[in-house]
Amino acid sequence: MAAPARRVAKVVPGKTAFFLCDIQERFRLVIHAYPSVIQTAEKMLKAAKLLDVPVIATEQNPKSLGATVPLPLLDLPSHLRPDWVPLAKTKFSMVVPKIEKQLEEWGTKSVVLFGIESHVCVLQTTLDLLERGIDVHVLADGVSSCNQDEVGIALKRMRDAGALVTTSESILFQLIDDAAHPAFRSLAGLVKEAKDDTKSALEHLIAGKGF
């Protein structure tokens, strides 16, 4: 009897959401390679608009930690972001009732996750999503922590739990799947525009580790 085919976790166009986790002002001076995290987030938001991918964004205790850094969140059309984005929270995980309800409405099957901190909010969000049967793709060039050495350990913990550790450029090309996709030229232009920032993010956040 043939063995059953192993399920492969993939991003599902039309069933994928981007999760932007707590990229806030007060962290500017303490997060390792924070400019690279911000640049990756900016690229992903621009791509979300091009590829029609909905976005969830949160802020951890913004009264203490400040608002989200300037990012093109409000440039997204209304159908790609709930009117409450970014959502203030105190729970470390992004998986709170309002967000769970939104994911159900969208029929979300997979989430692409980026933000901070890798070993706290990003990790706990990943575990909660996996527990609910949602595939999680964590961007190694889009997450960080105050202490650099926390990042690799957190990514390994997430991968061991079943998350996929990948990069922003890889995930964007997975979402279009084919060079015949109508957004291919626009996406290729965005990738070219972000080339230097992407290289810098890979150097500062991954530094050859490959996780």
Q: Tell me, yes or no, if 22 is annotated catalytic.
A: yes
Polymer length in residues for the chain: 211
Beta pairing partners, 166: 139
- What is the spatial distance between Cα 50 and Cα 47, in angstroms, rounded to a whole number? 5
Q: Tell me, yes or no, if 121 is annotated catalytic.
A: yes
Give me the catalytic one of 21, 43, 46, 121: 121
For residue 76, give Cα distances in angstroms to 27, 47, 54, 124.
24, 10, 9, 26
User: DSSP 3-state helix, strand, coil percentages of the chain (rounded to 5)?
Assistant: 50, 20, 35
With contact defined as beta carbons under 8 Å apart, do 55 and 21 qualify? Answer: no
Give me the catalytic one of 21, 43, 46, 89: 89
Q: Tell me, yes or no, if 75 is annotated catalytic.
A: no
Query: Which residues are identified as catalytic?
Result: 22, 89, 121
